[in-house]
Every structure is written in structure tokens, then in C-alpha cells.
Amino acid sequence: MLSVLFTVSYLGLGIPAIAAGVAVVKSGNLVATSSVYGMVVIVLTAFATVNLTHLRAGGRRSTEGGSMPDGRTIDRPV
């Protein structure tokens, strides 16, 4: 399981860096490539934040109605 975390982290940082390096070689403009790279990182971070917020808000379910998310009822002492 830990190796999956390391692989995803490596790819998440390595692939964009390689793409930026290829873009610098093709365009020859380091400043423009850095600006585009920074904007892409900001957009991806915003997307991940919105997605995480949405998942956390949707993942909370109230059990006050006396039932669990799978439909079973909760026996509470009176």
C-alpha cells in the first residue's frame, strides 16, 4: 500500500516536471513555461480542493432518524 502512495506521488510530481522541461526545449522560453506551469498547478490544486470539499460534505450522513446508512435501525435505550 505504501508503494502505491510513493508511485502516485512520484508520478504526480515527475510528469508535470518532464512536460515543463519538454515545453522549455520546444519553446525556448523559460519564463512563459514557468508561468503556464504555475497556472496549471494552481488550477489542479483548486480542482482537488473543490472535489475534496464536495466529497467530505456529501460523505456525512445523519443518523438522527434512527437508521444507519445501510437502512438498519438503531436501537437506542429509552
Q: Nearest CA to 18 among 31, 4, 33?
A: 33
Q: What are the pLDDT digits (tens) for 5-44? A: 899 889 888 888 898 899 999 999 999 999 998 898 899 8
CA distances from 41 to 11, 35, 68 (A): 14, 10, 39
Tell me the average pLDDT across 51-67: 69
Assess contact for 28 and 21: CB atoms under 8 A.
Answer: no
Assess contact for 62 and 56: CB atoms under 8 A.
Answer: no
The answer, as to whether pTM is greater than 0.85, is no
Q: Where are the domains of the chain?
A: 2-59
Cα distance between residue 17 and residue 38, in whole Å: 11
